[in-house]
Amino acid sequence: MLTLFGSCGGGLKIKELKLFPVLSGNNWQYVDREGKTVINPQFGDASVFRDGIALVQTSSTDAKWGFIDEDGKYAIMPSYLSATIFSEGLAWVVSKNEAPIAINEKGEIKINLKDAQTVAIFKEGLAAFSIVDSSGLKWGFVDKEGKVVINPQFSSADNFCNDKCAVENADGKWGYIDKDGKIIINYQFDGAENFINGKAIVVSDGKYGVINDQGKYIINPQFNGMVNDGGKFLINQNDKWGWCDKDGKININPQFEYASPFNGGNLAAVKSGDMFGYIDKEGKIVINPQFEDAYPFNGNIALVRNSNKYGFIDKEGKYLVNPQFDQIKNDLRYYLFNGSSQFETVKTNYFNVDVITARIKKKITDKSVAGLNFDTPISTIMSKLKITQNDFSKYSNENQVVSENITNDASLDFYIIGNPWTQSYNGWFSFNYSFNQNYKPQSYAYRINLKNNGYGKEDLVIKSLINAMTGYSKDTTQSDENETTLKSDSLTLNFFKKNGVVIVIRPSDKKKQE
């Protein structure tokens, strides 16, 4: 959903950082602009500080996410499986077996999005979220009160910026909506980025151009890549990077192997040959290419890499902090490039076992399974399920005849146990097969396939099913770690499990089998 150059902050002046997350050994620490350690190495992961608070992950085996202040003290204790950064006073967090919730900087719950699959940070008062329905993944928007203000209907969506948001339709085309969800620029682009200062980069037939807020081109699609860089654009032409002005006129010839935006400053990092240096706004080399990697200036300092270590330089290219740090965070890279973050979305961990239980319970009654009983001949079953004799194996008793999705976390297969084919030897080292239209099944079975948030929760599914089957009791003599048998006065249900799968079998009663 989000890209490195897709932030609403792209092309704007980035705030100066006080602290930088860098790797020391196996843990992340924070250093100041002089390279001094301010918060000791202790985190398994760490974000940039934004408005005095940073997202961090503990380094323990059972790692959890929380938030710290600039003194390194926990403002919100680490207790979450995943979390976003704070944006507009709210952050999304996810706990084990729970849906995303939005918390404020005191850790107080403000919103609970039970049905959301993925949710993004708030921008301009709205947060994009996705659900899964019968047609697949759909995106909509929720406000800070938790009210759905734009119903899920888009195949993909970015964040709001300049009161507009890029959205994708089912045909893979992008357009723009306003905050009422109304299409204001028709679906027509192969890709679309945020509006910044009334302009947006779009992609058409593999080429990048720029439109105004009426959807009209002010720079025709002609480049292989573009990045909004304030009043100009970083462009890629013939696999080289340079700059053009707001009208598309090239003012720094594409000549660099790679380039980062100026971001409101006077210097930009470029790659010439195998090394990085810095140019001014006229395209002149100011700091000679000498670094293995280089990043946009943040105030008067820039991160560079040499000998696989990171350090800081000043605007003359002199080291303020010699290369000594092992790694820098991707979140820091995102921030330096355009003010965005790698921690802008979270996925739900909520597994809706109730909908699975309700589906199975509805299909299994005292008298039938999916409307079929053990006196129902195979011909009637084929007619009801719209299947043919070719759906039955000549060589196996297990016949999968129906498959359907229940949720994004589970699918359901329906099996008829038994073989309606009769085999007879023809005397020539082969067999003839005939199909018995009056054959009656031995058993019916459901195979519940668990994935995503459902995977590994086989016990939870079985427990929920057992609790839902009223009138049955557990047969302890026929139950063990991987199999559970329930019995009523005349009926039996068998539950089996293995990794990612729960099987429910309803056998015919023994008298009929005899």
What is the rounded distance in angstroms from the CA atom of residue 278 to the CA atom of residue 384? 72
List of domains in the chain: 20-347 (2.130.10), 353-513 (no CATH)
Q: Does residue 3 have a pLDDT over 50?
A: no
Q: Does residue 2 have a pLDDT over 50?
A: no
Tokens of 296: 């946009």
Tell which residue, 204, 193, 202, 282, has the closest CA to residue 243. 282
Q: What single-letter DSSP state applies at residue 15? A: P
Q: What single-letter DSSP state applies at residue 172? A: S
Give the pLDDT confidence of 46-66 residue by residue, as tens digits.
999 999 999 999 998 899 999
Tell which residue, 258, 326, 264, has the closest CA to residue 294. 258
- CA-based end-to-end distance of the chain: 59
Model pLDDT, residue 366: 73
Model pLDDT, residue 6: 47
Model pLDDT, residue 175: 98
What is the rounded distance in angstroms from the CA atom of residue 508 to the CA atom of residue 492? 8
Give the pLDDT confidence of 498-514 residue by residue, as tens digits.
999 999 999 986 444 33
Identify the weakest region by mean pLDDT among 147-156, 278-287, 379-388, 476-485. Answer: 476-485
Q: Does residue 4 have a pLDDT over 70?
A: no
